[in-house]
Structure 1
Amino acid sequence: MLARAAARGRWEAVYDDVRRRHAEGQSLRRINRETGLARATVRKYAFAASVPRNGVREPKPSMLDPYLGHLHVRLDEGCENATQLWRELQGVGFAGTAKQVRRWLSERRAGSAKTTIRSSPAPADIRIAISTASPLASSKQLSWYLLREPEDLDPEADAVVARVLQDPEAAKVVDLGRRFCRIVRSRCHTPPSGRSDVTAFDEWLCEAQACGVRIVENFAASIGQDGDAVRAALTLPWSRGQAEGQITRLKLLKRAMYGRANLDLLRRRFLLAA
């Protein structure tokens, strides 16, 4: 619930920012470029009379609601064993599953459970820090946080990222992701910088292919197979975007006409569409 409320607050702030920029006379293209929002989102927010609610669902009542008081008390006491908490709730009438308790608990602790069979309870200061920590954002919002530069994050997002970076493997993935984004953004927003962009890409590629994280290594290997095209994109002023877009549009027309007309009608439709 806290995560949903925080997400609604963030989107309301984005909506207010877009409306303010548009009222000041900024073009939609400029707002898109400066905020990093999708063009469709910028257009929708700029002309909406209030914050669009599409895709935003209000939280539904949960079976855990009557037992939240007990759960918060036990969490403050340092109990982070979901199975144990579930059994305690069963004793007072809870009819749900252990998975529901585990999901609720996973959003409210920063690390793994401290009260397992083979480990002692966490110190009081750690328990307090865990119990007061805000839940992590959704996977989509979290990926957006992790790929942005630290100076572009607000205090709430910066705190969430700091929690993620406590894990060494996650910190390595975040660093590689941010460096890759810097290479692409530097090419997109500034004139071609020549050899320096290619050198940075080659260094990143070598490091990513040997980072020890399989999903990143697979991503780097797939990029490496088309490395010449990436290097050309970083150094040359031309783009194949227009050509690829026209090819895609013609393929769509061809597939829409498949089995419905002869070649003469298909040719006429292509010429009219062009």
Structure 2
Amino acid sequence: MAAGHSKRSVARQLDMTLNTVMRFSRATTPEEMFTGQWQSRATPLDAYKPYLDQRWQEGCTNAWKLWEEIIEEGYSRGYNSVRSYVSQVLRGKLQSVGPRPPSAHAVTRWILTHPDGLAESDRPPQGRAGELP
């Protein structure tokens, strides 16, 4: 197009349909490139999203558990849509919270392992034994 290639040639090279290349070439903003019938389409999960959001805020972060709960409320679809919603939408909200606290297993290992046997990142800061930084 700008480099002298035809739209049909670009479609072949990118393994896209000619209509897709035409739509992309007409777009004036990135958002216009990603419009289509699949965008903002209602899904069976939409009715349950407020409940999922609420349960997430209450601390239930297990997608399988959330799926089981909405099945009891009448949701009749599969697990994958709930897993996708949790990973793409809800976990995205969680990212701003901060780092995940260490597991009980990790803390137990830190306590029971001699400092020389720990990875450098898990060792206590240098100083007197028992002294906190």
Higher helix share: 1
Sort the TM-score into its range (normalised by shorter chain): 0.3 to 0.5
Structure 1 length-normalised TM: 0.23
